[in-house]
Amino acid sequence: MAIISALRSRWRPIFEVQKTVLMLGAAGAMLWQHRGGVTRAPEKKVAVPPQPIDVQAAPTRGMPTARVAIVEYSDFQCPFCGRVARDTLTEIDRAYVDTGRVRLVFKNLPLSMHKFAQGAAEAAMCASAQHEFWPMHDLIFAHQDKLSAADLNVVAQTVGVDVEAFSRCLSTGQARAQISADASEGERLGIESTPTFLVGRYQTDGRVRVVEVIQGATSAAHFKDVLDPLLAQR
């Protein structure tokens, strides 16, 4: 018994270290799942909204005659949002948006865990006030490691906005109300992670009747599986 006791005492520190490593690994996995997006659908699935979504105040890319919309709730600092913007949505733009069949609608959902997300959202919406949202959007997502106020000013100058008007928009907080409205709407819809996409058809009143929710950094093929049947409907 004394030998067994001695062995237990000898190996206990190693067991405790292993236990700690396993616990930290599990916690890290959970944190990774919720840090601004997921590569698979989150455990909490967002339900299809029972009411149409108002998109009239949101930046939109695509032809006004398109009857199908992808409404994206996104965070400019979210790495998964960046991946989708650079890869998946580039394919969707080429196949569906540029051909006039689908419109892409952007709504801001800056997550509190991302310290630069709110500032980036305000910069993008201030660029939107000068009809330069999408160039700003694309450059921000292309350089997500440069989201300081100084970096965003450089991006704004690169896309060609009026610098004085842009600075005035930022300093007076003109964009905050719309960003807050987007975020509040996302919260009401149960959206807790980014990116989240609501896919649906435009109604005659300009709102979007959602038929499918896509969560996380998914592939263009997944979008195709949702969009093609919807586009085939009369």
Helices 117-128 + 133-142 axis angle, to 10:
150
The tens digit of pLDDT for each residue in 18-58 reads 444 334 344 443 333 333 334 444 558 999 999 999 999 99
Please count the structural domains in the chain. Answer: 1
Is 21 contained in some domain?
Answer: no
DSSP 116: T
Check pLDDT > 90 for residue 109. Answer: yes
Strands across the sheet with 208-215, in order? 60-61, 102-108, 68-74, 196-202, 208-215
The pTM of this model reads 0.81
Contact present, 71 and 198 (Cβ < 8 Å): yes
Per-residue model confidence (pLDDT) at position 44: 80
- Domain CATH for 74: 3.40.30.10
- Whether 61 has a pLDDT exceeding 90, the answer reads yes
Q: Which of 132, 106, 66 is nearest to 195 (CA)?
A: 106
CA distances from 130 to 87, 119, 127, 161, 200 (A): 26, 17, 5, 7, 28
For residues 127-151, give the mean pLDDT. Answer: 97
Q: How far apart are CA 187 and CA 103, in angstroms?
A: 23
pLDDT of residue 1 exceeding 60, the answer is no
Range of the domain at 185: 60-232
> Would residue 37 count as lying in a domain?
no
146 within some domain:
yes
Mean pLDDT in residue range 137-143: 98
17 assigned to some structural domain: no
* Residue 152, pLDDT above cutoff 90: yes
Specify the range with the lowest mean pLDDT, choosing from 17-21, 100-104, 135-139.
17-21
Q: How far is it, in rounded angstroms, from Cα 215 to Cα 74?
A: 11
